[in-house]
Amino acid sequence: MATDINNQIAITVGQAAKLLGVSPPTAYRMARMRGFPAFKLNGRVLVYKQGLEEWVRALAEANAEVVMEEEAGNGGSAVYDPE
């Protein structure tokens, strides 16, 4: 039986991978990154769902600024790609 993640506070790393459109190994690497909203509970790695949404939003806003700088010819750094 599938679990409806809309009503969950925390999700598994596998569920986070599906939401983000990345592979589970990539999601586990991301879970070790500073600032990523993952935590351990009873030996399981979980992701705080609202924190994940905020993390993605902040990353998208930061990358949008970089893309705009690159398009303006001001240099800028590469867009983050965890794959």
Structural domains counted in the chain: 1
Given a cut of 90, whether residue 44 has pLDDT beyond it is: yes
Q: What is the mean pLDDT of residues 35-41?
A: 97
Residue 83 lies in a domain: no
pLDDT digit string, tens, across residues 2-17: 567 888 999 999 999 9
In a domain, 80, yes or no: no
- 79 assigned to some structural domain: no
Residue with the bigger pLDDT between 6 and 27: it is 27
Q: Are the CB atoms for 5 and 15 separated by under 8 Å?
A: yes
Helices 13-20, 24-31: axis angle to 10 degrees equals 110
Task: Place 57 in a pLDDT band, splitting at 50, 70 and 90.
Answer: very high
Angle in degrees, CA 80, 82, 10, rounded to 5: 105
Whether the predicted pLDDT of 1 surpasses 50: no
Domain that holds residue 44: 10-71
The confidence score (pLDDT) of residue 70 equals 64
Say which amino acid occupies 78: A
